[in-house]
A and B are shown apart, each in its own frame.
Chain A
Amino acid sequence: EAGVAQSPRYKIIEKRQSVAFWCNPISGHATLYWYQQILGQGPKLLIQFQNNGVVDDSQLPKDRFSAERLKGVDSTLKIQPAKLEDSAVYLCASLGDGHNEQFFGPGTRLTVL
């Protein structure tokens, strides 16, 4: 079974630029998560999707962050415009119905200069 795929793995941008990250969850997993992991901290949930609907986006900075999962499969997370404090690893995870374990992708490491 293929795992959670993310791209790109690394991205370096300047502040005020835009950036997008892509995630393809494990096939058949209805729930998809985006986490932000700042260096030295644990992952923090940004947004949770159930199929193509948003379940929880209470911690998403909506003035600059957006995410979509239009067909209920893969998802895109966008930052526009980026700030220095957005430098972090962005992790995608998925959860299958009836399972009790989230599966994580390798992450995208974003550096904002």
Chain B
Amino acid sequence: NAGVTQTPKFQVLKTGQSMTLQCAQDMNHEYMSWYRQDPGMGLRLIHYSVGAGITDQGEVPNGYNVSRSTTEDFPLRLLSAAPSQTSVYFCASSQRMTYEQYFGPGTRLTVT
């Protein structure tokens, strides 16, 4: 199994540009989530999904959209990038009845 994969690994955007961060898992996990990690701030939840077709907001959802059309994929869309969105983004997945979260390798995003 590849586990949780994310693309791209690095990305530089200009203010106002849009883009999609890709996340996929091959473990048939029902739960998927997106976090951003900033120095001294830990892991903050952006959006999460408890199954295909179901998404909900986390702690810091503004400026981001998600959708979950399949169990495997959970893309994160930045609508109009801002310098405040410069961060490392992690996607994670987990089974319903167990609690370990499996993280992807992360995407380092810089917005200039």
Chain A bound to chain B: no
